[in-house]
Structure 1
Amino acid sequence: MYASKTLLKVAVLLLGFSLSSYSTSAHAVEVPLTINAQQNSLNASVELSALVSFDISVQFENAVGLTPQNMTLEAHLLNLADPDILHRLPNSLLTTIPQAFPVLISISPDPAKGFAFSGAYTIEIYTKSLHYTEGTPLRLFHSHNNGTFADITTMTGSGSYRVRGNGGQFSDFIVLADLRDTNTIIQSKLARLQNIANNSQSLLAAGAYQVLSDAIDNVSIAMNSSNKGQALSALEHLIHLLEADNGTIYPDVWRSSNDLNNVRGNLISAATTLRFSLRIE
């Protein structure tokens, strides 16, 4: 087993917790990062203040160039009224930053280095700053390239709060309290799944796109018929279809130069978080 540790710079933006504070002072904190290249994983423990800390882990299906020199992780304590964040939320009134954990996490592999991964990574965040309760609205959101944050949650649990998600590309992660109507959340996740498929059509063979489109249509038809069991069954079929591929049918590589579309990883992320929301409905 190969394991290496480095001191990874984590930028901590001390903007405070009040809605009116706009201090822009910042200082860097060095945090140990553990990378296990053989197990395709990275881990870090981050302490931003006496009250805000978390552990983060990322597990890849397969990765190349996974070294401390190739990875940058930044964490920021956010102002709850930061307009640069609020305009990226799905709904600035109903998706809100928790006061106890106003944290933005950014993972940015060096574009000049040779890092790449295939399929979907799994990311997990554990924090004692939040507490899990049954029915909690706390969810893990992801944004790529400063875009709108999207819910990628696949699991929430206790101890004190643990959340897991997956994805096919990097950038920013944030925990939000999502108070939107359940049906709105589910429909937005279905729309994301459909959009990823539609935007990937030019990268797929005609037959492969048709199979994918039909599988998503089966999910949509069942959901629109309020047949939850059938919708979950159709989703399981879609997820199995994607997980069984090795990149031959659905392109599945993302690299730090950000010039490849990880179709399979992005579809798996959208499908599995939709499954999560349907299961807890």
Structure 2
Amino acid sequence: MPIDAAEQLDYLARIVDTTAPRTRITRLPRHALAAMACALVAGPASVHAGSVVVTIIDGRKAHADIALPAPGGGSYTAEFEIEFDNPQNLTVACLGLDADVLDATEIADVESRMPDVGNQVIDGAFPVRVTVEPPVGCGLQFDDEVHVEYHTIDLVYAPFSPYRLMKAPLGLGFHDVTGAVVSGSVRARGSGGSFSEFVIAKTLVQDYAGDADAGYDALEARIDDPAIGLSAQLTLQADLDVSRAAFDAANYAQAIARLDDLDLHCAALGGPALPNTWRSARDLVNAEGELVTLSGNIKFALGRLDGVP
């Protein structure tokens, strides 16, 4: 019996490999699904389609292979990986990971939400956004911070790279969550206590001291959260104060070491004194994950100031 177009699109959107030992699903852009549906009706044809293939590894890591068609021909390719601490219900469906190519209007929107508008832009060589938006009722949950790596060969790495890993709540302002940028060609690493949108942005004029100073302000404001217990606040504030004093004295290695202490204290305090759980119901604030993310981004700026490329 003939299959109508809607049924074909639904079928193609659910291509699942059930023979592999890992959970795998391929998500295709709707325009690509439509083209493939037409091909099913018209007969064999050459279809240039994009895909986002998500694999769950060992129950604690999600890996996405991304290949999306570029407007002028060819494709944008990337790998996106998230590593979790103590995840529950980590499945492809519960993760809700997808990617899209930004058009001119979307690029303008994303750039308007950057922390340093006008100085942080989307490189035309890689205008790809990854969105991680777990369904509310799926039960995904994790502790502490997630570790994120966004890797593409479409951007060229150079020492003291201007590229940054940016993260934003869906439709809201982006924040720099970069912990490292290494070769491969560009491999941007960071962390987070929540989701949703991720992009690699290019910083036109780099100001590491200004970034570190702003990062300390953001970290101090986060520590003041009344959801964090008083003893935990005092401990973390002491770590921050010592680190900032070292930064002010241009002792960047010492400033990093004291932030390492803060990270260790965050790990030890995680729980009732320092909320450290995120879940898809969005009813908890993962303060521990956000603090460690802020700390990691400050350490990135301090490392640059100390000559680390």
Please give the range of the TM-score, normalised by the shorter of the 2 chains: 0.7 to 0.9
For the pair shown, the structure with the greater C-alpha radius of gyration is 2
Q: Deviations over 1:35-68 (max 9, x none)?
A: 13x4401111111122311011110011101112
Residue number among 194, 202, 218 corresponding to 1:192 in the alignment: 218
Change (3 A) 1:276 1:12: farther
Q: Does 2:88 match 1:61?
A: no
Indicate the residue corresponding to 2:27 in structure 1: 8
Equivalent-residue separation in structure 2 for 1:90 and 1:72 (angstroms): 26
Equivalent-residue separation in structure 2 for 1:86 and 1:55 (angstroms): 22
Q: Which amino acid aligns with 2:219?
A: L
Q: TM-score, normalised by structure 1?
A: 0.86
Where in structure 2 are the equivalents of 1:53-92 lying within 5 Å? 53-80=77-104, 82-92=107-117
Change (3 A) 1:157 1:180: closer
Equivalent-residue separation in structure 2 for 1:123 and 1:130 (angstroms): 18
Equivalent-residue separation in structure 1 for 2:175 and 2:95 (angstroms): 23
Q: Which amino acid aligns with 1:116?
A: Q
Q: Deviations over 1:186-243 (max 9, x none)?
A: 1222222122212x2x212221211122221222222223332331221121112113
Indicate the residue corresponding to 1:217 in structure 2: 241
Indicate the residue corresponding to 2:169 in structure 1: 144
Indicate the residue corresponding to 1:23 in structure 2: none
Contact 2:89 2:141 in 1 (8 A): yes
Indicate the residue corresponding to 2:141 in structure 1: 116
What residue ranges of structure 1 are gaps of 5+ in the alignment? 14-27
Equivalent-residue separation in structure 2 for 1:93 and 1:12 (angstroms): 32
Q: Which amino acid aligns with 1:167?
A: G
Contact 2:81 2:150 in 1 (8 A): yes
Equivalent-residue separation in structure 1 for 2:156 and 2:108 (angstroms): 27
Cα deviation for residue 272 of structure 1 reads 1.2
What residue ranges of structure 2 are gaps of 5+ in the alignment? 1-20, 33-48
Contact 2:177 2:293 in 1 (8 A): yes
Cα deviation for residue 175 of structure 1 reads 0.5
Contact 1:8 1:72 in 2 (8 A): no
**What secondary structure is seen at the aligned counterpart in 1 of 2:54?**
strand
Identity of aligned residues (%): 26
Indicate the residue corresponding to 2:265 in structure 1: 241
Contact 1:9 1:72 in 2 (8 A): no
Change (3 A) 1:255 1:139: same
Indicate the residue corresponding to 2:53 in structure 1: 32
Indicate the residue corresponding to 2:121 in structure 1: 96
Contact 1:166 1:269 in 2 (8 A): yes
Contact 2:113 2:172 in 1 (8 A): yes
Q: TM-score, normalised by structure 2?
A: 0.79
Which is worse superposed, 230-239 or 2-11? Answer: 2-11
Contact 2:209 2:302 in 1 (8 A): no
Question: Would you identify which runs of 4 or more consecutive aligned residues in structure 1 move more than 4 Å?
Answer: 9-13
How many residue pairs are counted as aligned between the two chains?
Answer: 264
Q: Does 2:286 match 1:262?
A: yes
Contact 2:51 2:67 in 1 (8 A): no
**What secondary structure is seen at the aligned counterpart in 1 of 2:222?**
helix
Equivalent-residue separation in structure 2 for 1:133 and 1:172 (angstroms): 25
Contact 2:59 2:90 in 1 (8 A): no
Asked which structure has the greater RCO (Cα within 8 Å, sep 6+), the reply is 1
**What secondary structure is seen at the aligned counterpart in 1 of 2:194?**
coil
Kindly report the root-mean-square deviation, in angstroms, between the aligned alpha carbons of the 2 structures. Answer: 2.2
Q: Which amino acid aligns with 2:167?
A: H
Equivalent-residue separation in structure 2 for 1:47 and 1:120 (angstroms): 27
Cα deviation for residue 29 of structure 1 reads 4.8
Q: Does 2:300 match 1:276?
A: yes
Indicate the residue corresponding to 1:41 in structure 2: 61
